[in-house]
Chain A
């Protein structure tokens, strides 16, 4: 599903965020990416989302070399990825249902279909009763479940989560991880960046540890 070959990202003044990273993540796999702050976890995710370009090396997703994609192909590629962030990134002026249906809406899906798909995933995360609430009316856990629902509304083949439990207490964190495990059980590849070692231990999946931009352990 994801392959990198000698992937490096250098910022100004020769600072390496990632250095010579070669790894493989299989299709339908659930993988943790961990390491201390500044290890390069978020940089790796940004490269996968094509928010940044590698300085050296290559990234292949589903056999596609990301470096060769043009603007239109990047849009097409991103439609197959669901993303979840630590700060949820919900739109405060839209209701819960609108936040989710926003994705199919801006992809040109007909209105009735947008709402139907949004409601289905909302029901799946168990928050259908909050569909007309606004993000500021929800708890942190509820907001993250909405963000997960939004990531799933487009039936992605890959879900990328950057510190999805960073703002949540341990119980809620486990609840979110259970949702991600369910997504993975449906055949979707899930890549979670987190520095929460305890959570990784509880979930118990393959873990890639980064330090100073290099892979130091795969367990």
Chain B
């Protein structure tokens, strides 16, 4: 406990003494975490949107024109008994035609030339939020094979593709942030090493009097830890300001893009992870330098 108290007291004093060069290390860590934080901000909001879309998933079961009411009833019973449907709605052929004409008004002329209504009747099913998507896919496969059913569509491929795209962006961003974190750790190590050289005599005396390793190396690790913590706080403050500015300028556009949702700043949990990450990067740099001390 005394070594910890000593490490932070000496580390803090060293940080203050070398505040000019320490600012470089703090800035390097802040820059790495701003990149990582901005990336998390975008991907986290995109994931929230994807989750909302996933929760609002629907599928349609198209009935053959000659399907009997018994066959339709069997299909509806299968849907109800599956346990994954939050609700269902029967859309008759006439309703389907009316919807098309309403939603695609400019194409409505196309439908006037038909002798018969080409749109099939269907049952639209809303998947229960949190309902298993595998279960929904299995149900759709089962429904396709039932009498009176022409087809069933549960197209989640695009959601999967967007999810995979987000994963790729996140992985690339993490890679970049990792590189920047390594560069930041090297900067911290260099700055801490400068302080170490200035205290060479103190270190020599500490070694000669048999000071424990925690007392010799601790202050340098603590200095890196503090630089990392300050850098992380600076990064979060910068991200917050950037977020406010972006929301002031493009807030309504972004919110409308999210279809009823709103763009959110990083949750506290992710902010704490960023601070912890900054402290870890700083400590790692401090430890590399401290190994020169003894």
Contact = CB atoms under 8 A, between A and B. Distances in A.
B211 A106 contact: yes
Given A106-B215, A108-B3, A91 B202 contact: yes
Nearest to B204: A89
Contacts of A76: 210
What bracket does the count of chain A residues touching chain B fall in? 20 to 34
B209 A78 contact: yes
- Interface of B, helix, strand, loop or mixed by DSSP: helix
Nearest to B1: A108
Given A106-B6, A108-B215, A75 B205 contact: no
A103 B216 CA distance: 12
A67 interface: no
A75 B3 CA distance: 15
A75 B217 CA distance: 14
B161 interface: no
A56 B229 CA distance: 50
B165 interface: no
B67 to A, nearest CB: 84
A79 B206 CA distance: 10
A78 B204 CA distance: 12
Interface in B197-248: 201-202, 204-213, 215-216
Contacts of A110: 2
A75 B207 CA distance: 8
B30 to A, nearest CB: 29
Nearest to B214: A108
Contacts of B210: 74-79, 107
Contacts of B6: 105-106, 108
Contacts of B213: 71, 75
A83 B208 contact: yes
A103 B206 CA distance: 7
Interface in A79-97: 79, 81, 83, 89, 91
Contacts of B207: 78
Given A75-B211, A75-B212, A106 B206 contact: yes
A51 B208 CA distance: 8
A71 B216 CA distance: 13
B204 A108 contact: no
30 contacts: A49-B208, A51-B208, A75-B210, A75-B211, A77-B210, A78-B208, A78-B209, A79-B209, A79-B210, A81-B208, A83-B208, A91-B201, A91-B202, A91-B205, A102-B205, A103-B205, A103-B209, A105-B6, A106-B206, A106-B209, A106-B211, A106-B215, A106-B216, A107-B209, A107-B211, A107-B212, A108-B3, A108-B212, A108-B215, A154-B209
Interface of A: 49, 51, 71, 74-79, 81, 83, 89, 91, 102-103, 105-108, 110, 154
Q: Kindly list the 6 A-B residue pairs having the minimum CB-CB distance in the complex, ordered from nearest.
A: A78-B210, A106-B211, A79-B210, A75-B210, A108-B2, A106-B215
